[in-house]
Every structure is written in structure tokens, then in C-alpha cells.
């Protein structure tokens, strides 16, 4: 019964958001479904129709980790690549994550603070439309916290439990590469837990060995953003300012927006930020010598040094943030003479009020725009399907993976390059059509493409137009003779 209280606010808000489709900036979900479809159809894992270009790596990597597509594959085999089954699956993953976080935090502290932390996390994440598209983040969260349940025990770790940690941890890494934070976390745990040191060292060494083998087999060019990560310390340290801005907003999201008034929310955030260092002492006193504590430390270091930053990369830490805020409030109230007992008894109700306020205000929050509900987008996709039936197509589009998922046409995203490089890239992958149009997405300048189209109008024939979109058929792009 008490576990359901940690899930209930999320469930209410998720029901309210149920009919909302992926937002226009979403594209990873389409690639995961394309990988799952390739697995079901027995094709190569990377044979998905997404035409990767090194000129714009931020669209998405050449291939995504296989764990989440493996989870999606049974649903794709039964129901196709529709969005209902993935929606159900990510919703169940969120519920499992909240239950696991409640159980783990409740082992070393009062149930109310564990449930309140989970409830705050659930409503806060869904206020950000976390279940809006089939991303790998939610299964990763469920595995991350389930692993802490299995790995943390008062008794010595048996070889059976070690094997379970290995299996679950390996699958977590296959869902998101950020799961590699588990490897240094296991070595760190071996330092602070002497009784299990031998098993933990074997576990960590096995992952290191398997990781090296995987790199040799897969190839370094298939590791997402590796080249960005290897740019050197000067570049990495220069990114700290932008990383700080990104994660500052992520941290404020984790503290919730419980009212519709900005000034009140700002005051709460200022107080919450003051409570975090106080509560952090409580967290590490209770959980510091556990797998949870070690994993939190290593994951923070990984996120801070990663070549890309996104607010959702903080999601695994949200239960810790919620817990430390509440633990900080509990400790702070205990310092107030005479009335501390009354205030401490009121604290759970204060936490409930924060969750309820966030639930109310989140229902008023508007989404960021759904591309698939636009009539001109659907008309465009219908035309592309018809054209594909007439002749082979390979297109350039602002959201290439969504186009491929919806129409079956291989697609490349927009990229920034000079006209000669644009020509070579088009020839490399055999581009037959260019689709220009705006769906409200930021994208790199395409001046090189526009210049090429202006210089060689005979190579770009407009064949269709609908709404904001114009489609050009690409003709011969071979080098022009001098003076032509």
C-alpha cells in the first residue's frame, strides 16, 4: 500500500498526458523503433534507413545501444511500430523505477521520506512529459535503481548475487552507455566494503575486459560522441559553462515547480538549494558505503565530464535530490528549539503539498508542439509514401529518423557544409530528394545547401509543395565543366 503512494501522483498526471504524441524535437524514439524493427525482420542492426552524416552528429549516433530496442522488439513483432506499445512500456518502466527508488531509500530511512521522494520524482518527471516518447531513459532509471536493490545488502554478497548484479548491470549498460558509471562504482565499493572486495574486483575486472573486447569488435567509430570526448582537456573544460547552465535548469526541475507563480517558485528553489548540502550529509552518512552511494558519485563525475549535456541525464539522480532536500529540511527543522517536534510532524504534509501543487500546475503546462499532429506534415508523409512506391527515394529532411519510421524512406538530416562537401555527401549516400521546411526545430545553418541549389538550379527540380514544405528531386550532381 505505501509503495502505491509513491506512484500515484505520476499515474494521475500520466493519464492526463496520455494522448500527447512525441514533441517535434523528439527523434531518438524513432531510431529505437527502427532498430527494433530491424531485429524483428532479421536485418542488420544498423540497417534502419537512417543516413548518418558526420557533419551533424547531434541528430543522433549511427546506431543506438541495443538494450532498449531488444525490449521493444516483442511489441514491434506483435503490433508494428505504432506508438501505443512503447508508451505503455515506458509508463511501466517509470512505475518500476519509482517503486525501486522507494524500496531502496526506505531501507535506510523512514518510509515517509522514501515515498515522498518517489512521489516528487514521479510528478516532476511527468511534468516534463517524461513518458511522451519511447526514449531509453525510463528503462535505464528502472534498471539503475533495481541494481541498487540487488547490490546493497547487509549480508556478504554471494556468488549468485554477484552474477545477478553482473547480468542486470550488463543489461543496464546496453540500454544506455552512461551505465558504464557502474564499473568505477564497483571498484569504489570494493574499497569501502572489504568483506566483498574479492567478488567486487572480479566483477569490475570482468566488465573492463568485456568492454575492451566490445570496443575491438564494434569499432571506435560506432561509439557515440567519442570524437567529441577526445577533443582534449582545453575543449572539455571550456564546455563547463554550458554544462553548468544545462544542469542548473535540470536541478531546478528536480526541485519541482509547485505553484503557477514564478516568484514563489524562485523562493522555493532558493530554499531548496540551501537544503541540499545539509541533506547531502545525511544521504552519505546513511548510503555512502553502499552501491547506491558509490554509483551516485561515479555517475555525477561521468555526467559532468560527458561530451554532451541534457537535463534528462540527471534523471537517475532525482530521487537523491528529492531525498536530500527533504532530509535537509528535517535536519534544519530539528535545530529550531521548542517547536521542532511540531514542525517535524508537519514535514510529510508539507512534502505532500509540494507534490499536489506540482500535480495541479503541471496539468496547466503546455507541451512543446507535436510534429505528427500537423496536417501539412501528414500530407507530406502521404506524398512521400506514394512517391516511394513509384521509385526509390533517399531524402534529406529536418527530422530524418521520424521520416524513415513513418514512411520507410531512408533519410539524412540537415547539416552545415560548403557546397562541394554537400555534393560529395549527397553522392556518398545517394540522395534523391531534398525536403525543405520548418517544424519549429533548431537546426544548423544550411547555407551550403541553399548556395548549391542556387548555383545549380537544373539539379534541383521542385516536384511538390504543401504547407511550409517544398520537395526537390535531385538530378545529376556530377562536377560541372569549367565555364558551364
pLDDT, tens only, 87-114: 999 999 999 999 999 999 999 999 999 9
Task: Write down the pLDDT at residue 214.
Answer: 85
Neighbouring residues of 341: CB distance < 8 A, sequence distance ≥ 6 = none
C-alpha span between 261 and 264 (Å, rounded) = 6
Question: Would you say 228 and 218 are in contact if contact means Cβ atoms under 8 Å apart?
Answer: no
Which one, of 392, 463, 455, lies nearest residue 434 by Cα?
A: 463
- The tally of CA atoms less than 13 A away on the side-chain side of residue 292 is 29
Q: Which three cell numbers stand for residue 447?
A: 547555407
Estimate to the nearest angstrom the gap between the alpha carbon of 406 and the chain centroid.
22
Task: Write down the pLDDT at residue 391.
Answer: 92
- The tally of CA atoms less than 13 A away on the side-chain side of residue 376 is 13
Which residue bears the cell 513518458? 131
Reduced to 3 states, what is the DSSP secondary structure of residue 471? strand
Task: Write down the pLDDT at residue 479.
Answer: 67
Extract the residue ranges of the chain whose pLDDT is less than 70.
Answer: 219-241, 479-484
Question: Would you say 159 and 199 are in contact if contact means Cβ atoms under 8 Å apart?
Answer: yes
With 0-12 / 13-18 / 19 or more C-beta atoms within 10 angstroms meaning exposed / middle / buried, residue 245 is exposed
Task: Write down the pLDDT at residue 481.
Answer: 46
Which one, of 125, 78, 81, lies nearest residue 101 by Cα?
A: 125
Phi, psi of 469 (to 5 degrees): -105, 140
Task: Write down the pLDDT at residue 117.
Answer: 98
Which residue bears the cell 517547536? 339
Helices (runs of H) and strands (runs of E) counted in the chain: 20, 5
Estimate to the nearest angstrom the gap between the alpha carbon of 262 and the chain centroid.
27
Contacts 24+ apart (CB under 8 A), 416-421: 416/55, 416/56, 416/444, 416/445, 416/446, 416/447, 416/448, 417/55, 417/448, 418/448, 419/448, 419/449, 419/451, 419/452, 419/455, 421/55, 421/448
Reduced to 3 states, what is the DSSP secondary structure of residue 435? strand
The structure's pTM equals 0.92
Amino acid at each position: 500500500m505505501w509503495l502505491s503512494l509513491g506512484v500515484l501522483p505520476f499515474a494521475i498526471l500520466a493519464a492526463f498526458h496520455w494522448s500527447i504524441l512525441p514533441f517535434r524535437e523528439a527523434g531518438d524514439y524513432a531510431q529505437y523503433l527502427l532498430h527494433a524493427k530491424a531485429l524483428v525482420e532479421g536485418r542488420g542492426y544498423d540497417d534502419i534507413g537512417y543516413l548518418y552524416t558526420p557533419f551533424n552528429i547531434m541528430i543522433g549516433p549511427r546506431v543506438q545501444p541495443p538494450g532498449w530496442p531488444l525490449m521493444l522488439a516483442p511489441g514491434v513483432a506483435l503490433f508494428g511500430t505504432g506508438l501505443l506499445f512503447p508508451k505503455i512500456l515506458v509508463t511501466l518502466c517509470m512505475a518500476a523505477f519509482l517503486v525501486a527508488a522507494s524500496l531502496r531509500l526506505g531501507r535506510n530511512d523512514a518510509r515517509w521520506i522514501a515515498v515522498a521522494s518517489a512521489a516528487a520524482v514521479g510528478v516532476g518527471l511527468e511534468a516534463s512529459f517524461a513518458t511522451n516518447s519511447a526514449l531509453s531513459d525510463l528503462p535505464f532509471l528502472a534498471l539503475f535503481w533495481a541494481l541498487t536493490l540487488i547490490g546493497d545488502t547487509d549480508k556478504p554478497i554471494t556468488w549468485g548475487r554477484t552474477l545477478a548484479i553482473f547480468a542486470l548491470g550488463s543489461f543496464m549498460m546496453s540500454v544506455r552507455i552512461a551505465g558504464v558509471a557502474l564499473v568505477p562504482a564497483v571498484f569504489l565499493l570494493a574499497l569501502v566494503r572489504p568483506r566483498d572486495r574479492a567478488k567486487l574486483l572480479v566483477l569490475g575486472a570482468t566488465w573492463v575486459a568485456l568492454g575492451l573486447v566490445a570496443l575491438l569488435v564494434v569499432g571506435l567509430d560506432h561509439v557515440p560522441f567519442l570524437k567529441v570526448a577526445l577533443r582534449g582537456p582545453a575543449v572539455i573544460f571550456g564546455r563547463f559553462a554550458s554544462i553548468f547552465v544545462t544542469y542548473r535548469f535540470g536541478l531546478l526541475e528536480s526541485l519541482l515547480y509547485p505553484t503557477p507563480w514564478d516568484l514563489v517558485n524562485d523562493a522555493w528553489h532558493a530554499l531548496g538549494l540551501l537544503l541540499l548540502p545539509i541533506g547531502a550529509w545525511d544521504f552519505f552518512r546513511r548510503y555512502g558505503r553502499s552501491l547506491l552511494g558509490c554509483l551516485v558519485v561515479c555517475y555525477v563525475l561521468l555526467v559532468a565530464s560527458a561530451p554532451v549535456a541534457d537535463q534528462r541525464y540527471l534523471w537517475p539522480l532525482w530521487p537523491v535530490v528529492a531525498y536530500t532536500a527533504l532530509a535537509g529540511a528535517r535536519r534544519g527543522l530539528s535545530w529550531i528549539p521548542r517547536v521542532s517536534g511540531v514542525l517535524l510532524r508537519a514535514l510529510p504534509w508539507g512534502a505532500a503539498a509540494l507534490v499536489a501543487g506540482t500535480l495541479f500546475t503541471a496539468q496547466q503546462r503546455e507541451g512543446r508542439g507535436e510534429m505528427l499532429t500537423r496536417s501539412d506534415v501528414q500530407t507530406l508523409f502521404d506524398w512521400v509514401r506514394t512517391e516511394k512506391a513509384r521509385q526509390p527515394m533517399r531524402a534529406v529532411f529536418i527530422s530524418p529518423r521520424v521520416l524513415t519510421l513513418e514512411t520507410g524512406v531512408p533519410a539524412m538530416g540537415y547539416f552545415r557544409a560548403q557546397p562541394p562537401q554537400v555534393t560529395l555527401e549527397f553522392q556518398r549516400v545517394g540522395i534523391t530528394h531534398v525536403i525543405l521546411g520548418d517544424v519549429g526545430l533548431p537546426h544548423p545553418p544550411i547555407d551550403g545547401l541553399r548556395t548549391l541549389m542556387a548555383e545549380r538550379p537544373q539539379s534541383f527540380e521542385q516536384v511538390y509543395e504543401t504547407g511550409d514544405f517544398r520537395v526537390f528531386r535531385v538530378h545529376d550532381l556530377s562536377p560541372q565543366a569549367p565555364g558551364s
